[in-house]
Structures are given as C-alpha cells and as structure tokens.
C-alpha cells in the first residue's frame, strides 16, 4: 500500500524527459493511419507483429518500416501532436525530443519543412505548459558526411528550438574518431552534444564518445556497468547516462551486456549506477515501440529495481537538472518540481 501511494505521488509530479525519439513514439494505430495516407493497407495484427522484436536489429528493421510512412511535413505534425497528448497525460512539462534528421535526409525529404511542422506543434504546446526543445540526430552507419549535413541543418534552426546534435543508429558501425570534426563543428555553432553509446557496445564506446566527441550526455550507457574506472569518470565529470530500461530489455541490449540469452528488469544496472553517484536520467527512448510510458519506467525502477521514494524523486529531479536549458529557465522548473515534491509529501 505504501509503494502504491508513492507511485501515485510520482505520477503526480511534474516530469522531464530527455531521451525520447519522435519517430519511436508512433503508436500502432497511428502507424496504420499514416500507412493509409500513403496508400498502404495494413491490419492491426500486422502492425502489432511489426512492433514485436527480441534484438536490436529487429528493432531497427521495425523502426525503418514505421518511418517509411513519414513522407510529408503533415505526417510529422500528426505524430508530434499525438506524442504531446501522451506527454501531457504523463504530467511531463519539459521534453527534449530527438528527430531523426539523418533518416529524413536519407529519404530525400526536406528536414527544414518537417521541423517547421513539429515546431509549430511545440509552440502551441508551450502555451499549454509543455516546453519542448529538439535534438537533431544523425545516423552513425550513414557516415561522417551525412552527419555533418545534419549538424549544419541543426545550426541553421538553433534559434527556433534545436538545442543539440546527437548520433544514434548502429554504434558499432564506425569509430567515433570519424565524427570528431562533426562534433567540433556542432560545438562551435553552440549546439550541445550527445551520443548513443554503450547500449550494445562496450565501455570503450562510452569513453570514446566523451573523450573524442565531447558528448555531454550519453544515450543509454549501460555498458558502464563493466568498468569501474569509467564509472568514476562519469561521476567526477557529472556526465549523465540517459537510461531507458524497457528499451534495453526489448532490444536485447541488456541481455547482450550480461552475456545471456534473455534478461529481466531486476538485472538492470540502473540502481547500481545511480548509487555509484553517476548522474542518471530516466527515459522511455521509443515509448510506443517499446510499449511503455515514463510513469511505467518509474514504476519499474521502484518495484523491480528496488529504488526508494527518495531515490525516485532524485531521478525525476535530475532530468530537470541535466536538461539543456538556460540557467534561469532550469531554476524555474526545478523550483516548481521541488514545490510539488513538498506538496505531495515526498521529502
């Protein structure tokens, strides 16, 4: 009963999400709607089958299929609107949403037109109390040239709400050194720097993202569980890991890190990494594709990883503390969060 009360209180807290892919938030029925827009008829059963996978390659194939129905700015507008409804339902008041700009370019689309559509949605949501900033994401396996193109486009629209440049995709495809110039350019343009690393790769991928690319937050980073020296570096430099537990189960990333055929949530390293004083922000990654919500991620952290009410609140607060926001805006959001925590008795 006490745990249930705590989870209800956490649900009521204002929350932030920092590792959230726009395209990965396309719900199955929205995927059917998008397909129909472009003359493709699929059944609910067919879509549900596409949304089931047991390894990272299976997820990438599903992601490729879903995004194949994003062909016009209005498609992006629709999925942004649907995502914002879900975020408000979860009491998320701030989100940094990743848009797969590298994929848009690969599909020969106009990424600036796509961005204009989603930023229009974000402007409306700001008036409703949901503040959104955007991260433009390059696809690692496409190479440094396309990644530089993403960074240049991000720099063009920085003033319109693009706060960071990131890189996802297959982290084992190309070495970090090939992207040093891209990340240097992003930093020169005033963009914050992110990288997916240590999801299916080893600790060295995380270290390279930090030392070579200057990454200020690490997407996933669960491979840090294997390297105490790296854990010390992350704690000392206060470099957060954007941890997405349900994603790590669904893609098989956790099982791979543990050297097992399968893994359970209880084996996730989130609690251990957090208790080593490494900054951790809890996120959903691709919530629709992994059948989760941010509230369910907090619930799993409590019920399956053993985090206390105090630790849950600390996780929630870190998502505001490590947001890419100006000091004044960050202080305002942190103040509102702390006031809500007091009012809910979570002190």
* pLDDT tens digits along 278-295: 999 999 999 999 999 999
- Catalytic annotation present for 199: yes
Structure confidence at residue 53 (pLDDT):
83
Calculate mean pLDDT across residues 136-151: 98
- Which structural domain, as residue segments, surrounds residue 242? 2-343
pLDDT mean over 182-205 = 98
What SS3 state is found at 272? helix
User: Could you give the CA distance from residue 294 to residue 285 in angstroms, rounded to a whole number?
Assistant: 9
Instruction: List the catalytic residue out of 17, 23, 96, 199.
Output: 199
The two three-digit tokens of residue 60, written as one number = 């990438």
The whole-angstrom separation of Cα 86 and Cα 84 is 5
Checking if the pLDDT of 6 tops 90, the result is no
CATH classification at residue 159: 3.20.20.140
Question: For a pLDDT cut of 90, what percent of the chain falls above it?
Answer: 88
pLDDT, average across residues 114-122: 98
Whole-number pLDDT of residue 299: 94
CA nearest to 168, candidates 117, 121, 205? 205
- Sheet containing strand 280-282, edge to edge, reads 15-21, 92-99, 131-139, 162-168, 192-197, 217-220, 241-243, 280-282
Confidence of residue 99 (pLDDT cuts 50, 70, 90): very high
pLDDT tens readout for residues 161-184: 999 999 999 999 999 999 999 999
Q: What confidence tier does 327 reach under pLDDT thresholds 50, 70, 90?
A: very high
Give the pLDDT confidence of 205-240 residue by residue, as tens digits.
999 999 999 999 999 999 999 999 999 999 999 999
Question: Total domain count for the chain?
Answer: 1
Q: Are 99 and 46 in contact (CB under 8 A)?
A: no
Q: Taking 80 as the threshold, does the pLDDT of residue 301 lie above it?
A: yes
On whether the CB atoms of residues 278 and 230 are closer than 8 A, the answer is no
1 pLDDT exceeds 60? no
Q: What is the mean pLDDT of residues 86-103?
A: 97
Q: Is the pLDDT of residue 3 over 50?
A: yes
Confidence bin at 259 (pLDDT 50/70/90): very high
pLDDT, residue 105, reads 96
pLDDT at 282: 98
- When pLDDT is cut at 50, 70 and 90, the band that residue 56 belongs to is confident
């Amino acid at each position: 009963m006490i745990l249930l009360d705590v989870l209800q209180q956490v649900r009521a807290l204002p929350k932030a999400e920092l590792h959230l892919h726009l395209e990965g938030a396309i719900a199955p029925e929205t995927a059917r709607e998008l397909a129909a827009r472009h003359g493709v008829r699929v059944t609910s059963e067919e879509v549900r089958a596409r949304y089931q996978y047991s390894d990272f390659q299976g997820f990438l194939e599903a992601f490729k299929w879903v995004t194949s129905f994003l062909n016009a700015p209005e498609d992006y507008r629709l999925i942004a609107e649907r995502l914002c409804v879900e975020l408000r339902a979860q009491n998320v008041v701030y989100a940094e949403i990743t848009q797969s700009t590298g994929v848009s370019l690969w599909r020969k689309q106009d990424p600036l037109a796509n961005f204009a559509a989603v930023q229009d949605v974000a402007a409306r949501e700001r008036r409703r109390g949901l503040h959104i900033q955007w991260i433009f994401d390059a696809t690692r396996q496409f190479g440094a040239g396309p990644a530089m193109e993403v960074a240049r486009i991000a720099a063009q629209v920085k003033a319109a709400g693009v706060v960071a440049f990131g890189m996802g995709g297959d982290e084992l495809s190309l070495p970090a050194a090939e992207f040093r110039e891209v990340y240097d350019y992003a930093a020169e343009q005033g963009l914050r720097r992110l990288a997916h690393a240590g999801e299916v790769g080893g600790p060295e991928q995380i270290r390279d993202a930090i030392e070579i690319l200057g990454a200020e937050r690490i997407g996933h980073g669960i491979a840090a569980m294997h390297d105490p020296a790296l854990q010390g570096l992350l704690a000392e430099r206060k470099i957060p890991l954007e941890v997405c537990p349900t994603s790590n189960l669904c893609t098989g990333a956790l099982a791979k890190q543990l050297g097992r055929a399968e893994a359970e949530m209880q084996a996730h390293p989130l609690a251990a990494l957090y208790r080593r004083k490494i900054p951790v922000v809890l996120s959903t990654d691709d919530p629709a594709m992994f059948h989760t919500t941010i509230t369910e991620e907090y619930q799993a952290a409590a019920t399956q990883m053993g985090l206390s009410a105090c630790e849950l609140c600390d996780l929630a607060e870190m998502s505001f503390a490590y947001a890419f926001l100006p000091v004044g805006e960050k202080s305002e959001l942190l103040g509102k969060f702390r006031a809500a925590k007091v009012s809910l008795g979570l002190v």
